[in-house]
Structures are given as C-alpha cells and as structure tokens.
Amino acid sequence: MSKTVLTVDDSRTMRQMLRAALVDAGFNVLQADDGVAGLEVLEAETPDVIITDINMPRLDGFGFIEGVRREPRHRAVPILVLTTESDAAKKAKARSAGATGWIVKPFDPEKLVTAIRRVTA
C-alpha cells in the first residue's frame, strides 16, 4: 500500500513540483496552500508524512506544526520542513514545535523521497 504525503506550501509552482516528484515515486499526495488549509485537510485525512513550508499567509509553518501536534491522532506523523530558510534559530523553533526534519529549497527529488522513506520506515 502506498504512503500518503500532505504537502503544505503557498507556492503553486512548489506544490506542482512536489506533486510530480512524489507521484513519480509512488506516493499518494494531498495538498494545501497554507497552514489553515493544511489543518482543514487533516480533519478528514491522516497522512503518513507531512511536508510544510515555513513562510505562508494566514498560518505559517510554525503555527501549522503546533496545530498538528495538538491533535492526538497526528502527534506521531513525521513533519518535514521544506523551506528557503536555513537559519539555525528557525530550525530550532521548528524542532521545538514538533518538526521531524528540515530540507532547504530548492530540493532534490531523490533526496526528498529518501528522507520521506527514512521517516516513514
């Protein structure tokens, strides 16, 4: 059975790139365009892994991660942050909010798939 990935990013281009890379690797893909929409998707779905950006309108990645972790059925879902940010303080803030890992954009599709497989094994 293939794994399901929720991607949360306000960039349509990034969502399209993620969908292409993940579908090619055999994943089911759910998508949301910001943290609020991501939490709405999670009301009905339980993905195997979540990939989120940090800088988004309405609810940023930090708030989204905190919202995911407040929900008991999503507490164990791995969350990978995919962002242009590389600041150590932001990485620490994401980890303390509940992020599992950090990947800097632009991403290498093979490395992204490897990271997803590693956190869902």
60-114 pLDDT tens trace? 999 999 999 999 999 999 999 998 888 899 999 999 999 999 998 888 999 999 9
pLDDT, greater one: 86 or 45: 45
pLDDT at 17 over 90: yes
Which structure tokens are listed for 3?
Answer: 């794994």
Tell me the pLDDT band of 121, cut-offs 50, 70 and 90: confident
Burial class (CB in 10 A: 0-12, 13-18, 19+), 43: exposed
For residue 112 the two structure tokens come to 């992204």
Q: What pLDDT, on the 0 to 100 scale, is given for residue 1?
A: 67
> What is the average pLDDT value for the chain, to the nearest integer?
94
Q: Which option is the CATH number for 4-120: 3.40.50.10470, 3.60.15.10, 3.40.50.2300, 2.40.50.180?
A: 3.40.50.2300
Task: Sketch the domain layout of the chain as residue ranges.
Answer: 4-120
